[in-house]
Amino acid sequence: MEKLQQHTINQNEAVISITGLYKSFEELEVLKGIDFTLYKGENVAVLGKSGTGKSVLIKIIVGLLKPDKGEVIALGKNVTTLNRKELDELRLRIGFSFQSSALYDGMNVFQNLAFPLQMNRKNITKKEIRYAVEKTLDSVGLKDRIKQMPSELSGGQRKRVGIARTLILQPEIMLYDEPTAGLDPITCTEIIDLINHVQHQYNTSSIIITHDLTCAKNTSDRTAMLLEGQFVKVGTFDEVFDTNDEHLRDFYNYNFIQ
Amino acid sequence: MNNFWNRKYIFNKKIDQYFKDVYDAYQFIKLFFKEAFRKPFHFKETINQCYEVGIKSLVLITLTGFIVGMVFCKQSRPSLESFGAASWLPSLMGIAIIKALAPLITALICAGKVGSGIGAELGSMRVTEQIEAMEVSSINPFKYLVSTRILSTTFAIPVLMLYCGFISLYGAYVNVHAEDTSSMLTFYQNAFSTISFLDIFEAVFKSVVYGFTIGAVSCFKGYYATQGTLGVGKAANHSVVLSMFLIFIEEIVIVQVFNWIRYF
């Protein structure tokens, strides 16, 4: 489960750059001035309590939500000003793994993975689709589940198929929304290993939204602590929690006591 | 004046929400016409949905159509006989079934069966983030899910209506045949002798409008479902209730318009 340090992080090349980001829902202010940079090749874990706006942040990055104020530059494009076509082109380069996995209920595992390919690669043959699906499923260790329906899979398997579905488009950035939420410790370890494996094999840069400190510690190169809509500390996992700040200590102690 | 613009609600929360929903529905239909006739076309998915709407409703339509035709004929016979006009029964059946009953029965059955299905399916896709998953995979969920479903109900329901009309007439014929000994050919000839092309056009036109209404309403309710599983139930329920309500309103308007056309 230990994080391997074989990958290279290019601190001169930002793949996501966020400045002065604000978002509120009616009277509830969720994000209050976020500044953040994700560099090429690194994994950043965003930690925070439920309802602090972690998921909102990555949904803004991928254009599912519009910010009230601020700028999000992803792979050199300003997400907030893109039209539909440009946004679709950008989304092909960003993978998004949902907390609920969001597998298509009416399709089996093969169809779930083949669907984004069929829709986005016009001239791809059936044989090429089959090869790509099998290869991607193999990389998440689920090649033998190819014909099963999502309802027949366990929580951990669903997460892995969800991640495989995003990987099949070979994204440059991965956004994981609570990848270990609701899973038992053994399955959590498998998902953590998978996140690290994806970083090395696919050379992705990732943002991992989580409130699971074990996941953050073992997957991230940097950790960012989100509190009341703002990043209060960004650094390595040890740097972030080497503090006397009451809120951070509480979060740390609560997680590890749990 | 400043006070007016600073108000939280123009009327109150419910009335404001009602007008917002009407505006959203208008935007939804506008988006459908924008997306449905623009490339890429999802023919395969549209055919799949036509199968879901059409073939899978056949048994229900057959049973209901047959029984309605038979019962309507059985109940009309005594009145006509009392005027010595029993021979007009096939003509009456033709007018009643083709002009009014078949379009309405088909639409109401489809509103219940297909409308609730679409509302619940899209609603559950919304609350389990499957629609967002399509968006982040660069797939246009509106085009793939909504346009195909609205097109399929718009195409399939008129076909079902014509089928329902023939089956209802057959039900009526079975009843007539049980009492008299008229042949099926004579019955159908008499039934269609009083029906003009405009009558059939009116029935098909009505079905196209009803089909579009059922598709648009159920997709709208499902696509914008909120509040988790509770929202899925609400979406399915509202799809049926609102579709049926609109179908009756449209029935009044279309009948009136076609009466004017006949008059002129």
What would the pLDDT profile of B100-126 be if each residue is shown by its tens digit? Answer: 999 999 999 999 999 999 999 999 999
Supply the range of the domain harboring residue A212: 10-257
Q: How far does CA B18 lie from the centroid of its chain?
A: 23
How many whole angstroms separate alpha carbon B215 and alpha carbon B52? 13
**What CATH number is attached to the domain comprising A197?**
3.40.50.300
Q: What is the pLDDT of residue A1?
A: 56
Q: Residue B67: pLDDT band by 50, 70, 90 thresholds?
A: very high
Q: Residue A181: pLDDT band by 50, 70, 90 thresholds?
A: confident
Bridge-partner residues for A46, per DSSP?
A209, A224
What would the pLDDT profile of B154-164 be if each residue is shown by its tens digit? Answer: 999 999 999 99
Domain-embedded: residue A153: yes
A225 contacts: CB under 8 Å, gap ≥ 6: A47, A48, A231, A232, A233, A234, A240, A248, A251
What would the pLDDT profile of A54-104 be if each residue is shown by its tens digit? Answer: 889 999 999 999 999 999 999 999 998 999 889 999 999 999 999 888 999
Domain-embedded: residue A3: no
Q: Residue A7: pLDDT band by 50, 70, 90 thresholds?
A: low
Count other Cβ atoms within 10 Å, centred on residue A169. Answer: 21
For residues B235-247, average pLDDT: 92
For residues B206-212, average pLDDT: 96
Tell if the CB–CB gap between A120 and B139 is shorter than 8 Å: yes
Burial (Cβ within 10 Å: 0-12, 13-18, ≥19) of residue A83: exposed
Q: Residue B72: pLDDT band by 50, 70, 90 thresholds?
A: very high
Q: Residue A4: pLDDT band by 50, 70, 90 thresholds?
A: low
Q: Give percent of chain A above pLDDT 70.
A: 93
Tell if the CB–CB gap between B133 and A102 is shorter than 8 Å: yes
Write out the residues of chain B at the interface with chain A, using a CB-CB cutoff of 8 A.
124-125, 128-130, 132-133, 135-140, 144
Looking at the 3D structure of chain A, how many domains does it have? 1
For residues B201-223, average pLDDT: 95
Tell if the CB–CB gap between A115 and B138 is shorter than 8 Å: no
Nearest beta carbon to residue A92 from set B124, B135, B138 = B138
Q: What is the pLDDT of residue B111?
A: 94
Q: What is the pLDDT of residue B4?
A: 67
Is B71's pLDDT higher than 90?
yes
pTM beyond 0.90: the answer is no
* 8 A C-beta contact, residue A154 and residue A184: no
Q: What is the pLDDT of residue B30?
A: 93
Q: What is the pLDDT of residue B114?
A: 94
Q: Give percent of chain B above pLDDT 70.
A: 98
Is A233's pLDDT higher than 90?
no
Chain B: closest CA distance from residue A246 (Å): 35
What would the pLDDT profile of A16-35 be if each residue is shown by its tens digit? Answer: 999 999 999 888 888 888 89
What would the pLDDT profile of A121-149 be if each residue is shown by its tens digit? Answer: 888 899 999 999 999 998 888 888 899 99
Is A6's pLDDT higher than 60?
no
Residues of chain B contacting residue A115, judged by C-beta atoms under 8 Å apart: 137, 139
Whose CA is closest to A202, among A130, A61, A95?
A95
Q: What is the pLDDT of residue A256?
A: 60
Tell if the CB–CB gap between A104 and B137 is shorter than 8 Å: no
For residues A221-242, average pLDDT: 85
Q: Residue B206: pLDDT band by 50, 70, 90 thresholds?
A: very high
Is B80's pLDDT higher than 80?
yes
Q: What is the pLDDT of residue B252?
A: 95
Chain B: closest CA distance from residue A97 (Å): 8
Q: What is the pLDDT of residue A11?
A: 66
Is B204's pLDDT higher than 90?
yes
How many whole angstroms separate alpha carbon B131 and alpha carbon B135? 6
Q: What is the DSSP string of chain A?
A: -PPP--S--EEEEEEEEEEEEEEEETTEEEEEEEEEEEEET-EEEEE--TTSSHHHHHHHHTTSS--SEEEEEETTEEGGG--HHHHHHHHTTEEEE-TT----TTS-HHHHHHHHHHHH-TT--HHHHHHHHHHHHHHTT-GGGTT--GGGS-HHHHHHHHHHHHHTT--SEEEEESTTTT--HHHHHHHHHHHHHHHHHH--EEEEEES-HHHHHHH-SEEEEEETTEEEEEE-HHHHHSS--HHHHHHHHHHHH-
- Phi, psi of A43, deg, nearest 5: -105, 125
Q: Residue A108: pLDDT band by 50, 70, 90 thresholds?
A: very high
Bridge-partner residues for A47, per DSSP?
A210, A225
Domain-embedded: residue A198: yes
What would the pLDDT profile of B12-48 be if each residue is shown by its tens digit? Answer: 778 888 888 889 889 989 999 998 888 888 899 999 9
Is B173's pLDDT higher than 90?
yes
